[in-house]
Structure 1
Amino acid sequence: MRTDRLVAVLLMLQRREQVTAAEVAKELEVSERTARRDLDALAMSGIPVYSVQGRGGGWRLLGGARTDLSGLTESEALALFLAAGPAAPGTPAVRSALRKLVRALPEPFRAQAEAAASSLLLDPRGWDWNRAAPPPPRFLDGLRDAVVRGVQVRLGYVDSAGAGSERIVHPLGVVAKGPSWYLVAYTETGRRTFRVDRVSSAVPTDRPVLLPAGVDLAESWREIADDVELRRTPPVEIHGTCAPDGIDHLRTALGDHLETGGVTADGRITVVIRGPSEYGLAGHLAGLVEWLDITSPQGVRDHLAAIGNSLAERYGGTATPGRP
């Protein structure tokens, strides 16, 4: 809505002192023409907004005027950013609108609010859906607060064997996966994942976290979850050869599941394909048999033969479209 944009533009002017139409357009995800109209509308409404012409020009508030339209306390700003974060249950459009508004919040709320937006991740694909959802773990709020404030934590932890330990961790974020909560953090030995219900103590320090440059909670969790899935279900490994003109098709269809090797005497390329099950892979590879010859395991070859027989029985008497 335009009213929301005008409020956001005014808050941007308060925070930055001067903005250009291009900056407003980028921040609010509108066209520069729309941004200029909004700036003109503010000026025409009696708000002391004026333009500075020439190189290095832009729009400013006369006399550095301050009109705090947010009306938000620090805790309310944090709550709003949490609602706009990656774990928010609302629609993408709602989260986008919230992010646009909160990006225009004046300091000192903005830095911690942005940290709050990336402190929590919701992964709906639980590893154990038979478990009833327990109440939130005791130290969950304290750990999230440490993530938002960007401080190290002295963490007490009890592992799956019942052994207790204590260490300093650098929290990256908290993840809800199914009924369980996990803390993703860095330690002196690298990235670690901790079940929050096994945390026995969590004492924040006044020292800032030290994290690798560019580290991201969502990407880190994808890597962790993929590694867990691989260890839970050892992948099936298929060996075979592929005609040279089919390699691009295999790469497109299989992505990271495909590993290519050397060239055989007859010019074919050796391949290794990994996946979760023989039958699933056979079904995926059935459309690639024009180029692909599976040599092992025999189970995959049997599945492919059965799929081929079923296709022939159902479609064998039907002419191929476009062919005699």
Structure 2
Amino acid sequence: MKLDRMLGILTILLQKDRVTAPELAEKFEVSRRTIGRDIDAMCRAGIPLVTQQGSGGGISIIEGFKLDKSILTADELSNIIAALKGIGSVSGQSNVERVLDKLHAHADAVVSMREPVVIDLASHDGKHLAEKIELIKRAVLENRIIEFDYVYERGESRRRVEPHFVIFQWEAWYVFGFCLDRSDFRLFKLQRLWNLHLCDETFSPRDVPPKKRDFEAWAAKDGKHALIALFDPSVKHRLIDAYGPHCYQETGEGLRFETSFTKRDYILTWLLGFGDKVTVVEPRFIADDLKTVAVNILSRYS
């Protein structure tokens, strides 16, 4: 926290010619004595600050000293602001707003707060998602076990987990940790867990094997398969949305699309979304799955 505060003070001094200790104390919600210690520490670190007493006085960077503002360039600050706003979209606290306020730019600032990139990491269930993330963050920092109900492909179960961190990947939020019920590291999708409880029981963080840290490998744990399919030209825009403008070849039979997949249920659900606008060439088992689903749908409505 001290380092964050000192960075904030430095940012303000880059934006203003002079600022008073009471102003800094109020902004960072600390005492004037704490600000004084921060200024001393910054001077010892080689940043030449000067303090002037009396009316019109305050703290400033010594005249004639050029502090390289590329410590954080305009692009770097812009990226930080965009990232902070993204985290703020799923944060249940005002910490992010306070940090953004500390970086707030004035007319002569290093970077404008008009950030052209907007990142929104929230879901339709934004309020409950933020509550889960905040509770898990607390559990990680305090090394406390969490408990929750979880629904997955084979049913539902109650899990006890030693959380290590929260991850945003594959367009969703996950908690990664050591599952005490399975005696192994696991990823749990936050949208699939409920009745989340922070236990009093603590744990000593375990070393995570490098293989377990490879989160891309989690998606491929069921093996990789090749998919070849022919799509109707009318759904070209949907293919581009998912895989980009060069993901298909135009043929006399339609748009030939080739890719690989690891999760059978996911690719099946994705293909079903195209209705009769797609024909699977390979693999045969996916074509059979689509046929089975189509027959079941027909019987349901007949």
Instruction: Pick the structure with greater CA Rg.
Output: 1
TM value normalised by structure 2: 0.37
